[in-house]
Amino acid sequence: MPTSALARDAPTYVAGHGGLVGGAVLRHLADAGFTSLLTASSADLDLRDRDAVEAFFAVRRPATVVMAAARVGGIIANSTYPADFISDNLRMQVNVLDMAARHGTTRLLFLGSSCIYPKLASQPIREDSLLTGLLEPTNDAYAIAKIAGVLQVQALRRQHALHYISAMPTNLYGPGDNFHPQNSHVLPGLIRRIHEAKASGADRVVVWGTGTPRREFLHVDDLARACLFLLEHYDAPEPVNVGTGTDLSIRELAELVALVVGFEGRLEFDTSKPDGTPRKLLDVGKLHALGWQARIGLREGLEQTYAWYRQQLDAGTLRAA
């Protein structure tokens, strides 16, 4: 079981480095002393193209891979484009994991999502809840793709004795997030709408859903720390949950965002919009037992993320999709 530190000079590939998660992982690895970090933009390497992925691995031969590339989105995006979500994610995962195994990658971390668990799983959700019930229908296509990734990791371990692992993060946020008005996740979406309401002098903000579902939020920099920690301290087929172990309601989240933004108007809840899963709190006991815990509190993380959002607005560099 490899529990030693990764070689800082070995080729290390972060797939999806241009996204929220991959960008944070890349920054953390650089800060941790990794000197041979490999990246490729989607324009240079389409991970859905099997031949292109094989050519990349054959030439670069990464010793370690963090599979952070994915097609992601919020409830509206998942409900609108389910075929794209399952097709794109399946192809990217299969290509990267297959070629890693074929071309000598010794350690790999596959990043999934807490949406892999059943909609009505017992709370907090343990890793062994996987495949014990029906999924949330608004993102079932994405969830099935991520479940397939977990099973592919397990199959590669069984067939080839590879030290590949998978981790299931809770809801993520932080610098580099997607603030698109329709395709973003709930937290960046709230930041954008509440900021725009304050800037325009509006006296109210409409929040999708009833406000009653409860969600857990992990700062992406904490996830990046967890990725390196798991690569160096964990080697088993079962996925590991990564989260904070605490949650709050969407109403409470909206109120906290309003406080951070400085918006003093009222919040109205549009109950015609879907709520999604009633509650999705991860049991992080396994990760805590290994010796890792999140460090960044939600208020602190929100303040940092809102400051980054305003900087991007001022610079005109905010992601548009």
**Active-site positions?**
142
Is 126 labelled a binding residue? Answer: no
Is 171 labelled a binding residue? Answer: yes
Is 237 labelled a binding residue? Answer: no
Is 114 labelled a binding residue? Answer: yes
Cα angle 170, 174, 175 (rounded to 5 degrees) comes to: 150
* Token duo for residue 258: 């309003």
d(CA 55, CA 50): 9
Residues sharing a CB contact under 8 Å with residue 144, sequence separation 6 or more, in sequence order: 86, 135
* Token duo for residue 31: 């800060």
Is 17 labelled a binding residue? Answer: yes
Consecutive H or E run containing 146: helix 140-160
Is 169 labelled a binding residue? Answer: yes
In 148-161, which positions are buried (b, 16+ CB within 10 angstroms) versus exposed (e)?
bbbebbbebbeeee
Is 301 labelled a binding residue? Answer: no
Is 149 labelled a binding residue? Answer: no
d(CA 254, CA 207): 8
Is 163 labelled a binding residue? Answer: no
Residue ranges of the annotated binding site are 16-22, 111-114, 146, 169-172, 185, 193, 208, 215, 275
Residue ranges of the annotated binding site for substrate are 193, 208, 215, 275
Residue ranges of the annotated binding site for NADP(+) are 16-22, 111-114, 146, 169-172, 185
